[in-house]
């Protein structure tokens, strides 16, 4: 079942007897858990009908005992089992008889936060898939995160500029919990100021990003082979390397050239193909298209080596008398050389 469908049913008080929430992306697992926590029972009913158990600390037989209890002065019992991925795989079979015949007045929530699931051929997994709401929260791609940001913003009746969207993804990555936290601050500001659009200026102010000089602007300048702007940006960034350490910058630049090389070798050169190949939003495909026109495959490979060498120098693995500022300025010269 899809995330939105599960949330809608919970909000309508249409509960299933068992939920199995699993996968790598904690954000959606936590959201479903919070929805169940807020909707199955009233606060006044939780005293006798609410159990939160941790798999490493209890025997799974205790889960069955809690789940088979009858509700007291309430319609439901809510039993939540966290850290189930830390239970022994063989012990999971203890839950199978209950899963095959769950108690209808209990909502049992099994939380299994791990990318590797139990053996799908086991009786435990077969019983889960037959009787439970089975939700796997998979790791997100950049394009998925963009869609969720747009949805979060739209749900609050706001709009967001494409530049602001790019900055959020560039700096916060795929961490939806962090993104949501930052957006909440912005929403409060927009409401207070009676504004309806998130701009890059607002993002820079509230997400604490240097509004003039940052790595995504440096990457854009490198992609365009804009020599003057690239040197200006790294010169200014070097004055504040405590906030943006070079060892944090190099992986992002390396990722850009690595993706550029993959595109070059696969002959992907229009925005749609680029977006699909890199699994990014079409918003961001244009900079790759422009960079493909500026760089040959041999220069891209050379630049990847320059980045690796700079990384090793910054870590002290390659002996050098240069400080980090000199290393980074030399790196930019090398990346833009013919």
Q: What is the pLDDT of residues 23-42, one digit of tens each?
A: 988 899 999 999 999 999 99
Q: Does domain 215-336 have CATH number 1.20.272.10?
A: yes
Q: List residues bridging with 109 in a β-sheet.
A: 19, 80
Q: 28 with 7: CB under 8 angstroms? A: no
Q: Looking at 98-155, which runs of residues are DSSP E strands?
A: 106-112, 133-137
Q: Is 213:236 a contact under the CB 8 Å cutoff?
A: yes
- The CATH architecture one would assign to domain 3-137 is 3-Layer(aba) Sandwich (3.40)
The end-to-end CA distance of the chain, in Å, is 53
CATH of 142-206, one of 1.10.8.60, 2.30.42.10, 3.40.50.720, 1.20.1290.10: 1.10.8.60
Q: Are 30 and 57 in contact (CB under 8 A)?
A: no
Q: At residue 135, what are phi and psi to the nearest 5 degrees?
A: -120, 120
pLDDT at 212: 61
Helix (H, G, I), strand (E, B) or coil at 107: strand
pLDDT in tens, the chain (338 residues): 789 999 999 999 999 999 999 998 889 999 999 999 999 999 999 999 999 999 878 888 899 999 999 999 999 999 999 999 888 877 888 999 999 999 999 999 999 987 777 777 889 989 988 889 999 998 888 888 999 999 999 999 999 998 788 888 877 878 888 899 999 999 999 999 999 999 988 987 888 665 567 888 899 999 999 888 888 789 888 888 887 889 999 999 999 999 999 999 999 888 889 989 998 878 788 889 999 999 999 999 999 999 999 999 999 898 788 889 999 999 999 999 97
The 10s digit of each residue's pLDDT in 92-149 is 889 999 999 999 999 999 999 877 777 778 899 899 888 899 999 988 888 889 999 9
**Which residues partner with 22 through β-bridges?**
112, 136
Query: If we measure between CA atoms, which residue out of 232, 163, 251 comes closest to residue 204?
Result: 163
CATH 3.40.50.300 residue ranges in the chain?
Answer: 3-137
Ranges of CATH 1.20.272.10 domains, the chain:
215-336
Considering the chain, tell me which residue range(s) the CATH 1.10.8.60 domain(s) occupy: 142-206
Instruction: Label residue 228 left, alpha or beta by phi (over 0 means left) and psi (-120 to 50 means alpha).
Output: alpha
């Amino acid at each position: 079942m899809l995330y939105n469908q599960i949330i809608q049913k919970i909000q309508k008080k249409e509960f299933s007897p068992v939920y199995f929430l699993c996968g790598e992306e904690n954000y959606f697992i936590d959201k479903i858990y919070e929805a169940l926590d807020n909707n199955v029972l009233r606060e006044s009913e939780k005293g006798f009908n609410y159990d939160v158990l941790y798999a490493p600390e209890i025997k799974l037989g205790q889960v069955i005992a809690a789940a088979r209890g009858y509700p007291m002065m309430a319609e439901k019992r809510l039993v939540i089992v966290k850290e189930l991925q830390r239970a022994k795989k063989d012990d999971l079979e203890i839950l199978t008889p209950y899963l095959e015949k769950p108690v209808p007045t209990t909502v049992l929530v099994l939380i299994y936060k791990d990318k590797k699931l139990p053996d799908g051929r086991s009786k435990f997994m077969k019983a889960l898939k037959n009787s439970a709401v089975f939700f796997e929260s998979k790791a997100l791609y950049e394009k998925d995160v963009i869609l969720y940001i747009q949805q979060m913003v739209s749900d609050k009746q706001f709009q967001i500029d494409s530049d602001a969207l790019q900055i959020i993804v560039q700096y916060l990555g795929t961490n939806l919990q962090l993104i949501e936290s930052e957006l909440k601050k912005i929403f409060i500001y927009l409401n207070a100021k009676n504004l309806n659009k998130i701009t890059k200026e607002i993002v820079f102010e509230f997400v604490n990003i240097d509004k003039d000089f940052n790595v995504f602007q440096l990457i854009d300048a490198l992609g365009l082979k804009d020599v003057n702007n690239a040197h200006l940006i790294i010169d200014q960034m070097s004055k504040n390397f405590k906030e943006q350490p070079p060892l944090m910058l190099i992986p992002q630049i390396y990722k850009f050239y690595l993706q550029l090389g993959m595109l070059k070798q696969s002959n992907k050169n229009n925005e749609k193909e680029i977006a699909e190949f890199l699994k990014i939003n079409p918003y961001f495909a244009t900079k790759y298209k422009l960079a493909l026109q500026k760089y040959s495959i041999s220069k891209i490979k050379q630049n990847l080596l320059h980045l690796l060498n700079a990384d090793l120098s910054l870590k002290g693995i390659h002996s050098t008398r240069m400080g980090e500022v000199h290393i980074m300025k030399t790196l930019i010269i090398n990346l833009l050389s013919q």
